[in-house]
Chains A and B, each alone.
Chain A
Amino acid sequence: MEIFGLLADGFATSLSPLNLMIVILGVTAGLFIGAMPGLGSVNGVAIVLPLTFIVPPSSAIILLAAIYYGAMYGGAISSILLGIPGASTAVATTFDGRPMARQGKAGLALIAAAVASFVGGTISVVLFTLFAVPLADLALAFGPAEEFALVLMAFTTFVGLGGDDVLKTIVMICLGLVLSTVGLDLISGQPRLIFGDLPGFYSGISFLVLAIGVYGVGEILYTIETSRTSPSVTPAKLSFRALGEGLREMNKLWKTMSFGSVMGFFVGMLPAAGATPAALMSYGMAKTFSKKPETFGRGNIEGVAAPETANNAASTGSLLPMLTLGIPGSPTTALLLGGMVMWGLVPGPMLFIEQPDFVWGLISSLYTANVAAVLINIALIPLFVWALRMPFTVLCALVLVLCIVGGYAPSQKLHDVWLIALFGIGGYLLRKDDYPLAPLVLALVLGPLMETSFRQALISSQGNVFTFVERPLSGLFMALAALFFVLPLLKLLRQRKSKPPAVAE
């Protein structure tokens, strides 16, 4: 098996002292970020990205992936101890995690969450390893037409499956795409949308500026509003007995955990879905198939295990299309993609051919990150209980300082810092009015690819628009995109049909 050889080579990279240290550092940082109410993987990656200039590019990506993993584990901590999800991905964990903590079983719930995250993470990384090469091989046959159709399909999943307001989703996708066109036209090289010749706009709007604005400043403003009263931290005692009991309990839940992992992985691959719906679906499934569904919501350990396996599996799943196709499966992976492009490691099938050391080093580091995360998570539980008592205003001040300095550092322009403040305040207002922000960030990252592939495909077909539907793969993606796009309309029609005509009041 060729994969095993490649993976073994990868471990040679990821187990080097520097990378091992980076994984441990990243996972620990991620656990803390994830545990803080309001901050999740996407906020952590956005805020920390400018700090990763300190290590070589390939290690920087491993660091970010480790933070991503750590934050997925950490989200459960505040769900259980505070009853507030550390990130939206851990919402479903509060359903049974909080009641368990109230019953004095916080330690057991934390162990269950950590072990479940480990199982979900590991099963999904194995799936990732198996699917990566075939998918990258398939993507090698992609031309500009296929690339355009694929990006279009990724956006239409937000419209069809995202669950947010359709019109607001469309506005956000278009806004992101328009912002991505600021700067120099990629084909003719002429400046456009530079708003009265402002020099700062010539180099375009960096994904990092939007991400720090929306997920750093915007998130802090949002959290200031939602966490005006300080929540109470439930104490968690941890003993080896609880650990043993936790492992025995988890041993009975293999069916739930393996199902949650596989489902989470595939749901995570879709750009519009991801860890939050995967966790909710897994919770719902576990409850439906349980012999005692009435115990769910009252402190059933299965209700902690099911969402935690699925959200970790989904985070791995969302890495797969990012690395193999160059299409991120979640906002966090969109930031990883942006970071990789910034460092000259362009994701996509060619990366597997040109940079196999890096690709397999990254994949193998996901295995080590999982092991590190579960160990550090369980070992540091007392520290998390202490850290959650940190006043929110201190965290807030430090994050805002990092947003300002981190936004300035990459291109050293105060222009970017102003944009961060603008995007932060704008993003906060849009979020309050229920505009989804994930499509905005994804659109800004994918915009240049979408436009160049569209125009290249047309140039090579001498302006023939049918090139997008005549090529088989591209045609298939376009058909799926059309289907996703009309899905909300079909749903609406079905609702109208099934609803009896309204009686006049």
Chain B
Amino acid sequence: MLAADRIIALALMGLSLYFMWHATVLPIGWTDGSGPGGGAFPFWLSAVMLLASGGILLRSILAHPHEGEKFFPDADAIPQVAGVAGLLIATIAATHVVGAYVALMAFMVIYLRLFGRHGWGLIGILTLATPVFLFFFFEVTLKILLPKGITEPLFIPLYAKFF
């Protein structure tokens, strides 16, 4: 765990520095008579974050590794967690192009088949029912249009019917 602890602490230190760099766009100092400037709050809080995560890094370097130290506990779950995370990212990226409906249906088919190992019957029902629910709940009832990308023309007859 110590190695993971160090990597995360280093990443947080980097993030703090990145925030501090961006915060300097507005004044970070003290203005007489009115207190801190607009950039002071993010800058100094990031500085505290930098110190605290630096402390975590230092502590993990000084600490002795435990017996049977693992890099990350439950490492056998990593392929599955990483797979789901990757699929999620791919789904969001696909939404830009093919729209939410196609992307989410593809997500459900791949996820339920690859990770859930379900039968095609259940997959079919869930994959068809979910977009129908989303359409009627968000688009028809709440008037919130979901992104459709290149599939937009397919929805024009539906718009004509329900709006």
Residues of A bordering B, CB below 8 Å: 51, 53-54, 165, 167-168, 170-171, 174-175, 177-178, 181, 185, 187-188, 190, 192-195, 217, 220-221, 224-226, 228, 391, 393-394, 396-398, 400-401, 404-405, 408-409, 412, 414, 417-418, 421, 424-425, 428-430, 432-433, 435, 451, 454-455, 458-459, 462-463
CB pair B111–A396 under 8 Å, yes or no, is: yes
Question: In the complex, are the beta carbons of B96 and A414 less than 8 A apart?
Answer: yes
Which residues of chain B are within 8 angstroms of A455 by Cβ–Cβ distance? Answer: 34-36
Contact, CB under 8 Å: A190 / B38: yes
Q: For residue A177, which residue of chain B has the nearest CB?
A: B45
Asked if B142 and A424 sit within 8 Å, CB to CB, the answer is no
Chain A residue nearest in CB terms to B110: A397
Which residues of chain B are near A185, meaning CB under 8 Å? 26, 38
CA distance A429 to B9 in the complex (A): 12
- Knowing A174-B49, A224-B80, A405-B134 are in contact, say whether A458-B111 is a contact too (CB < 8 A): no
Chain B residues whose CB sits within 8 angstroms of the CB of A418 once the complex forms: 92
Additional pairs, 6, CB under 8 Å, beyond known A54-B142, A170-B52: A167-B59, A171-B49, A181-B23, A408-B100, A433-B5, A462-B34
B88 touches A421 (CB 8 A): yes
In the assembled complex, B146 has its CB within 8 A of some CB on chain A? yes
Which 10 A/B pairs are nearest by Cβ-Cβ distance?
A458-B35, A393-B116, A174-B49, A185-B38, A225-B77, A181-B42, A170-B52, A171-B52, A174-B45, A463-B33
On chain B, the residues within 8 Å of A429 by CB distance are 8
B56 lies within 8 A of A401 (CB): no
Near A by CB (< 8 A), chain B positions 5-51 give: 5, 8, 12, 15, 19, 22-23, 25-26, 30-36, 38-39, 41-42, 45-46, 48-49
Q: Can you give 25 contacting A-B residue pairs, CB < 8 Å?
A: A53-B144, A167-B55, A167-B59, A168-B52, A170-B52, A171-B52, A174-B46, A178-B46, A181-B41, A187-B38, A192-B38, A193-B19, A193-B42, A228-B77, A393-B116, A394-B118, A404-B91, A414-B95, A417-B95, A421-B89, A435-B8, A455-B34, A458-B35, A459-B34, A463-B30
**CB <8 Å contact, B52 and A221:** no
Interchain nearest-CB distance for A431 vs B (Å):
11
Contact A400 to B81, CB < 8 A, known contacts A463-B32, A463-B33: no
Q: Check B38–A188 contact: CB distance below 8 A.
A: yes
Q: From A410, which residue of chain B is reached at the shortest CB distance?
A: B144
Contacts A192-B42, A228-B77, A393-B118; is A400 near B88 (CB within 8 Å)? yes
- Enumerate chain B interface residues (CB-CB to A < 8 A): 1, 4-5, 8, 12, 15, 19, 22-23, 25-26, 30-36, 38-39, 41-42, 45-46, 48-49, 52-53, 55-56, 59, 72-74, 77, 80-81, 84-85, 88-89, 91-92, 95-96, 100, 104, 107-108, 111-112, 115-116, 118, 122, 126, 130, 134, 137-138, 141-142, 144-147
Main secondary structure of the interface of B (DSSP, over half): helix
Do the beta carbons of B107 and A400 come within 8 Å of each other?
A: yes
- A432–B8 Cα distance when bound, in Å, is 10
Q: Which residues of B contact A225 (CB under 8 A)?
A: 74, 77, 80-81
**Complex alpha-carbon distance, A167 and B26, angstroms:** 28
Complex Cα gap A417–B90 (Å): 12
Report yes or no: B104 in contact with A401, Cβ–Cβ below 8 A.
yes
Residues of A near B1 (CB, < 8 A) are 433
Q: Are A393 and B92 in contact (CB under 8 A)?
A: no
Contacting pair B39 A192 (CB below 8 A) = yes
Q: How far is the CB of B125 from chain A (nearest CB, A)?
A: 10
Residues of A within 8 A of B126 (CB): 394, 397-398
What A residues does B53 contact at CB under 8 A?
A: 167, 171
Which of B36, B45, B104, B145 lies in contact with A458, CB distance below 8 A? Answer: B36
Q: A168-B56, A394-B126, A398-B130 are in contact. Are A408 and B8 (CB under 8 A)?
A: no
Instruction: Report the bound CA distance from A83 to B64 in whole Å.
Output: 35
Contact of A404 among B35, B41, B92, B141 (CB under 8 A): B92
Closest A residue, CB atoms, query B36:
A455
What is the chain A residue whose CB lies nearest that of B30? A463
**CB–CB B38/A405 < 8 A:** no
Task: Determine if B41 and A397 form an interchain contact, defined as CB atoms under 8 angstroms apart.
Answer: no
Question: Among the listed B26, B42, B84, B89, which residue makes an inter-chain contact with A220, where contact means beta carbons less than 8 Å apart?
Answer: B84
A170 touches B48 (CB 8 A): yes
Residues from chain A with a CB closer than 8 A to the CB of B34 are 455, 458-459, 462-463
Closest to A188 in B: B38
- Docked Cα-Cα span, A336 to B152, in Å, equals 35
CA distance A187 to B31 in the complex (A): 13
